[in-house]
Amino acid sequence: MKNTISILGIKLLLIIAILFSTISQAQVVVIDPGHGYASDGSNPDGRTDTEHATALSVGIKLKNLIEDDCNGWSVHLTRNTRNGWLTLSQRRAISNNWRADRFISIHCNAGGGTGTETFWCNRSNSPQSSNSRFSRQIQDRMVEKGEWRDRRSVEDASFIFHLGVLTGNNAVGVLSEIGFVDTGDATKLLNDTWRNRFADAYLTALQNDLNRNCTPPPTGDTEAPTTTISVPGGNSQSGDFTANFNDNDNIGVTRRFYQALEKYGDNWYANRGNGFFNDNFNVFYSGYTQGAGNWSISNGHLSQSDISSDNTKLNTFLSQNSGLPYLYEFSAKTISTTGPKKFGLHIMADDVTQSQRGNSYLIWFSGEDNKVRIYETVNNQLNFRAISDVPLDNQWANYKITYSPAFGVLEIFRNNTSLLRWTDTTPIKNGSSISLRTNKTNMEFDDLKVYKFRANQTQSITAGSSVTKDIRRQNGKIKSLVRDAAGNWSAPGNLDITISSLSRQNPNIIDDTKLNNSAPIIYPNPTTAKSLTLTYNATSNQRLEVSIWDITGKLLNKINTTPKENSLQNLNISSLIEGITGGTYIIKVKNGKNVTYSRILKQ
């Protein structure tokens, strides 16, 4: 951070701003490119030309983005020239007189550090919670799109002093320190492509914070990005390793996802406890729980042929608790030519035993009226949230859904074209399952996958026998998908990996294909340990043994009981997790000769 100074100076711009103070427009954004040279060419604040030029360039780029993309928004700069220096009080007064909804003061740091940081002020005239939230939005988007080290998002007085440009400002505002002018950060600060990305990060943060989505006009950019993968040391690794991703685009990659896969026999699956999922439907995966519907494998596709049920159900456990964005992908083809022709996917579901999957988002396609809808299920009640047109037919199509639990932004794509984008102001943060669903429709599905977000072009991949590792089989694979600013998606990047320290069928590794949510059912999952219930079907009066194991295979607790009758039983097993720290565990249920394993997450 730098000292801020307040000197009486140029009054003309302030007077002009006051003349416009009665103008009121929806979503007023004031951009403050910090510092600058004075009209006589002097440098009142003593800042570097790198900071003066970067702040102005990014500020102008952001203003142009808002004017081009955001109808009904009004945007103003506190300076738009190199020699446009103003005092702090003048900048603050301009923001107040324009009646700004949001205020962004753009700066660069100094002092030998690296990375980006964002400050908000508890002495502004806007709510502290709003300033803090906006600061976090700015910080996260700059880290993501600018690929910066995440220094902090913090209230200004926790540093040294209150920031004069924010103190007394009526707008929800921040001061953003993009990067450092006196370290390697400067290479990015002076690069025009990176400046475009910084401006795009600010725009995205504004959209998310204001819950106002700007739809950019067609740019003509149809060139898809590319992504490839390599690993230092080659394709044979003995344990944890770092994957390097080479992501390229003619404009710039804005969103990156990756997937770690492991081979079971002839099929590729993934560690669902780590948030990955993969099923190519060569065989019927034992990790599914079937509800209503007639689900089967036919010619290498998943078929649902029941046209009488209006709520079919195929569920699988999937931990969705990272707080980072997820990419859900599948292919689908409608076989029915009449009727509702409706299908979709529940994501972030917390209780698939209920009809509407407890709490979740349902992405719902309807060939009946060529629409896609977003529903949110709250306490097992469907609530309509958003709708858009979609051309649906009886041909195979690829569907992608991206969701950010931190910011509630959900976007839907068909054949790589964006259909609908919606922001939930109270987003679902955690989920334990995904669930396919149809309504009186004969459907085929293929290639159901879930990717996780990565912030940059390197990613640590864990490998070994522990249940928490990304790859727990000798044969593994890394995949990558990226998207550019125009919404173009790459073809998948693939890299096969061999884990030399593992045998192909290591008997000490719990087989993930046996970790399912079929009977018995353990809920809620995730759990906070206030209550944990086991529901199972007792088929004899043989003793039931329920035990909990950590990821190293250590027995922690167990419960024994004997059912009194052959029927559906509910057993309180909360004592299993009393005194156990948060994390991922395996619950083993042994009823006579029947043994099942289920994974739970204690929060």
Query: Are 459 and 410 within one domain?
Result: yes
Q: Which two tokens stand for residue 285?
A: 């995966």
**What pLDDT was estimated at residue 15?**
33
Query: Are 195 and 254 within one domain?
Result: no
| Position 338 in a domain | yes
| Position 355 in a domain | yes
Taking the C-alpha atoms of residue 178 and residue 187, their distance in angstroms, rounded to an integer, is 12
Final residue of a domain: which of 455, 470, 499? Answer: 499
Query: Residue 561 sits in which domain range?
Result: 519-602
Torsion of CA 503, 506, 510, 512, to 10 degrees: 50
Taking the C-alpha atoms of residue 319 and residue 334, their distance in angstroms, rounded to an integer, is 29
Taking the C-alpha atoms of residue 13 and residue 79, their distance in angstroms, rounded to an integer, is 9
Query: Are 21 and 75 within one domain?
Result: yes
| Position 315 in a domain | yes
| Position 271 in a domain | yes
| Position 524 in a domain | yes
Q: Which residue has the tokens 């097992």?
A: 380
Q: Which two tokens stand for residue 250?
A: 């003619």
CA dihedral (192, 146, 167, 113) positive or negative? negative
Query: Are 423 and 565 within one domain?
Result: no
Query: Are 172 and 231 within one domain?
Result: no
| Position 220 in a domain | no
325: preceding bond cis by omega (within 30 degrees): no
CATH code at position 443: 2.60.120.560
CATH code at position 536: 2.60.40.3080
Query: Are 206 and 299 within one domain?
Result: no
Segment 43-78, tens digit of pLDDT:
999 999 999 999 999 999 999 888 777 777 889 999
Query: Are 137 and 237 within one domain?
Result: no
Confidence of residue 566 (pLDDT cuts 50, 70, 90): low
Query: Are 186 and 308 within one domain?
Result: no
524: preceding bond cis by omega (within 30 degrees): yes
Query: Are 55 and 192 within one domain?
Result: yes
Ranges of beta strands (E only) in 42-191 are 74-77, 102-109, 116-120, 150-155, 172-180
Q: Which residue has the higher pLDDT, 265 or 331?
A: 331
Residue 523 has pLDDT above 80, yes or no: no
Query: Are 377 and 404 within one domain?
Result: yes
Q: What one-character-per-residue DSSP string does 165-197 give?
A: TTTT--SEEEEEEEEETTSTTHHHHT-HHHHHH
Q: Which residue has the higher pLDDT, 23 or 285?
A: 285
Segment 264-283, tens digit of pLDDT:
988 999 999 899 999 999 99
CATH code at position 92: 3.40.630.40
Q: Residues 458, 464, 469, CA angle at the centre, nearest 5°?
A: 60
Q: Which residue has the tokens 């156990």?
A: 580
Query: Are 191 and 73 within one domain?
Result: yes
Taking the C-alpha atoms of residue 545 and residue 514, their distance in angstroms, rounded to an integer, is 18
520: preceding bond cis by omega (within 30 degrees): yes
Confidence of residue 456 (pLDDT cuts 50, 70, 90): confident
| Position 221 in a domain | no
Query: Are 423 and 534 within one domain?
Result: no
Alpha carbon distance, N-terminus to C-terminus of the chain: 37
Q: Which two tokens stand for residue 284?
A: 């019927």
Residue 526 has pLDDT above 90, yes or no: no
| Position 4 in a domain | no
Taking the C-alpha atoms of residue 11 and residue 287, their distance in angstroms, rounded to an integer, is 70
- Structural domain count, the chain: 3
Helix (H/G/I), strand (E/B), else coil: 289? strand
Q: Which residue has the tokens 């993501």?
A: 144
